[in-house]
Amino acid sequence: MPPTGSPRHEAICRAALEVVAEDGYDRMSMDAVAARARASKATIYRHWAGKRDLVLDALHLRGPSCVVVPDTGTLRGDILATLGMVDTGTMREDMLLVSGVLRALAGVPEIADAVREQILEAKRDLSRTLVSRAVARGEVPPDADPDVFHVVAPALVFFRVTVLGQPVDEEFLTYVTDDVLIPLLTRQRPVPARAEQKESA
Amino acid sequence: MPPTGSPRHEAICRAALEVVAEDGYDRMSMDAVAARARASKATIYRHWAGKRDLVLDALHLRGPSCVVVPDTGTLRGDILATLGMVDTGTMREDMLLVSGVLRALAGVPEIADAVREQILEAKRDLSRTLVSRAVARGEVPPDADPDVFHVVAPALVFFRVTVLGQPVDEEFLTYVTDDVLIPLLTRQRPVPARAEQKESA
């Protein structure tokens, strides 16, 4: 049995997440994980009771998915660079993983919690970093919503790729940046009473 | 064999879409469809070669999913009323259906096309109606992006429900309306100059 943290243990966990990303949690088989990790199924079952336990363990071992926001010197540059990472590295893996566990998100609460905490919540800081830098540069008002990037950007990208099946190409990134995110971040927000009196414009 | 358009044919098609929405396309079984439609599997297989054909036929029979935008007299009212429909009737069915076929969207192009055309594209008019009414009332500038509601609102709602597993509650609807959609629709768009920066032209 591979002790926690051993190379063998890590290889199995990594294989499990790859299989989830490719086949989806529902279709994931221990055979596929075993084959990919070059381990026997007996070895896997000695350590994990089933795929739920294995995937959970793998998510925890992987840890929160931190992404460093490129510091390009402008809000527009930072946004484009951050969104551009969706097609590569960790961000791409994250998105495939979220797609892979999508149905499990509704039915397996522990997996849903782990994914939301380690993949989605972990990116809230990214949004805040991006906004606070822009505030410091004077590009956006000090009361700009620090979470708007976090709420809007992943949703647009996820819907585009998963539902519309369209590429995260330059046209899309430019649209999201110039026609959605920058206008939302740079707008002058009305003073508090907003909710009641919307008709001011 | 149920002739196209017969009540029996329609019942089977309706059952198929319900099963897809509940179990997902991957897990959908003809047994479940037969049981729900109170039909024999033999009857089903006499008419459809397999689940792909059945689901495609069912999507086409269902036709484009048209939603009438409530005319409340204000942009804010129209947006809130439209978004509020997500939890009821056709819009709710649509969302469950899109979730159900999500993995099929990547692997079964005919189903992806049918879903995108009849469920998603069909709602572009909704966005345009909403915006053109607001333009007519003078609530938004005449050059307001007529598609921004179409691009942004479904993505935010879908991500919220499917990935975050959170409810489409009043707090969320108010946020999306007041902090995302209305600011995007009412903003003064810069004069063309910016377009040159976009590589697309």
pLDDT tens for residues A115-170?
998 888 888 888 999 999 999 999 999 999 999 999 999 999 999 998 998 989 99
B169 and B121 in a common domain: yes
Total domains present in chain A = 2
C-alpha to C-alpha distance for A2 and A9, rounded to whole angstroms: 5
- Domain encompassing residue B38: 7-62
Closest Cα in chain A, distance from residue B6 (Å):
32
Note which residues in 171-200 of chain B have CB less than 8 A from chain A.
Answer: 174-175, 178-180, 182-184, 186-187, 194, 197-200
Q: Do B158 and A154 touch (CB under 8 A)?
A: no
B52 and B141 in a common domain: no
Cβ atoms B82, B130 nearer than 8 A: yes
User: What are the tokens at A185?
Assistant: 């971040």
Q: Which of A34-43, A62-71, A172-181, B156-165 is the least confident region?
A: A62-71
Please report the pLDDT score of residue A198 as a whole number. Answer: 47
Q: Which of A20, A95, A151 best probes binding to B when mutated, by most B CB atoms within 10 angstroms?
A: A151
pLDDT tens for residues B146-171?
999 999 999 999 999 989 989 899 99
Cβ atoms A114, A56 nearer than 8 A: yes
pLDDT tens for residues A25-56?
988 999 999 999 999 999 999 999 999 999 99
Q: List the CATH number of the domain containing A151.
A: 1.10.357
Please report the pLDDT score of residue A191 as a whole number. Answer: 66
Taking contacts as CB-CB distances below 8 angstroms, the residues of chain A near B174 are: 195
The stretch B71-84 carries a mean pLDDT of: 93
CA proximity to A14, closest of A64, A68, A67, A60:
A60
A101 and A33 in a common domain: no
Q: Do A159 and B160 touch (CB under 8 A)?
A: no
| Higher-scoring residue by pLDDT: A69, B81 | B81
A82 and A48 in a common domain: no
C-alpha to C-alpha distance for A51 and A20, rounded to whole angstroms: 10
B110 and B40 in a common domain: no
Q: How many other CB atoms are there within 10 angstroms of residue A133's CB atom?
A: 18
pLDDT tens for residues A103-114?
788 788 899 999
In a domain, B195, yes or no: no
B147 and B182 in a common domain: yes
CA proximity to B141, closest of B175, B178, B182:
B182
Cβ atoms A110, A52 nearer than 8 A: yes
B181 and B86 in a common domain: yes
Please report the pLDDT score of residue B195 as a whole number. Answer: 47
Taking contacts as CB-CB distances below 8 angstroms, the residues of chain A near B182 are: 198
A86 and A37 in a common domain: no
A128 and A85 in a common domain: yes
The alpha-helical segments, DSSP class H, found in chain A are 7-23, 30-37, 41-47, 51-62, 75-84, 89-100, 102-107, 109-115, 124-136, 148-158, 170-175, 182-186
C-alpha to C-alpha distance for A59 and B75, rounded to whole angstroms: 43
In a domain, B69, yes or no: no
Closest Cα in chain B, distance from residue A18 (Å):
16
Is A158 in CB contact (< 8 Å) with chain B? yes
User: What are the tokens at B57?
Assistant: 């036929």
In a domain, B120, yes or no: yes
Q: Do A102 and B99 touch (CB under 8 A)?
A: yes
Cβ atoms A39, A8 nearer than 8 A: yes
B178 and B157 in a common domain: yes
C-alpha to C-alpha distance for B201 and B192, rounded to whole angstroms: 12
Cβ atoms B147, B127 nearer than 8 A: yes
Closest to B187 (Cβ–Cβ): which among A160, A164, A183?
A183
